[in-house]
Amino acid sequence: MVKIERINNRPAYKHWKEIPLDAYIYTDILDDQLFAQLHKNVFLHLKQNTNTYGTHRTTFPCSGKNHAIIKHDYSGREQQFVYDMTFEKEWWHQTIDTIKSWSDDYLKKNINPIFYRYLTKIFELPPFNKNPDDWIPYRWHMNVLKHSKFLSTHLDTNAQYFNTKSIAEARSISLTYYLEDHVEGWGGEFYALDGFVYKPKKNSAIGINGNQVPHGVNANLNPSEEPRYAFTTRWAHIDDLYLPGHPDNAMYKLEWS
């Protein structure tokens, strides 16, 4: 049975009027069989190159053509994205009334069935289970933290996806699932700037208001120099999404290579 701990009573540290951490910690999410299947399929996926265009989606025009940068120092973290619905042209044709059915159909047709089963399990957990039709897991990326690397303090997601006055007002959750147990002294710990630290456990996850709270992961100090693996799904409340109904209605011109 899944164990759930809510972390939402920590005092704000009152720097730049930051919002306090609001987190769910989920333990023992999957049964042994589904965990084994998910673990296997994640590592099959990770055999692909982690320096992907999908990680940061940087393009520039030159001589009448758009060029994609697959790697640069600014986006030095290594990931492999499973999907990002906002990269799909059809995303920009959706409205609040259509986005849920479109996204469900997209997931069923485009991702590994084991990954889809994982998402159905997350939909059974709070806060998503209270109003599952209001939430969309719009992005999934694999995290690869190589030896001595860390994930510096940052905020998640992109303001252009939301119709709120600021990104901090959007209802957005970053949910990171862990495939391995934390070992004391080996790093790879999640932290928030208020001093909160989470030491990962296998088959556990932490969901946070990552668009509101600066957070990061300290360095991977595994003495075997093996990478640390996890994956993150990003969830958004449909009422807060910017959905123009057609690309021509978007504030900025949208192009697809």
- 179 contacts 39 by C-beta, under 8 angstroms: yes
| Chain center to CA of 215 | 13
Confidence check: pLDDT of 60 > 80? no
Using pLDDT thresholds of 50, 70 and 90, give the confidence band for residue 25: very high
Q: What are phi and psi of 28, to 5 degrees?
A: 60, 55
Residue 117: CB partners within 8 Å, gap ≥ 6?
Answer: 34, 38
Burial of 141 per CB tally in 10 Å (0-12, 13-18, 19+) = buried
Using pLDDT thresholds of 50, 70 and 90, give the confidence band for residue 136: very high
Residue 187: CB partners within 8 Å, gap ≥ 6?
Answer: 150, 218, 219, 220, 221, 222, 228
Residue ranges covered by each domain of the chain = 39-53+76-249
Confidence check: pLDDT of 52 > 80? no
Q: What is the mean pLDDT of the chain?
A: 88
At residue 87, the 3 state secondary structure works out as helix
User: pTM score, two decimals?
Assistant: 0.89
User: Regarding the domain delimited by 39-53+76-249, which CATH topology (the fold level of the hierarchy) does it fall under?
Assistant: Jelly Rolls (2.60.120)
Residue 61: CB partners within 8 Å, gap ≥ 6?
Answer: 67
Kindly report, residue by residue over 89-131, the tens digit of the pLDDT.
999 999 999 999 999 999 999 999 999 999 999 999 999 999 9
Kindly report, residue by residue over 77-86, the tens digit of the pLDDT.
566 889 999 9
Confidence check: pLDDT of 74 > 50? no
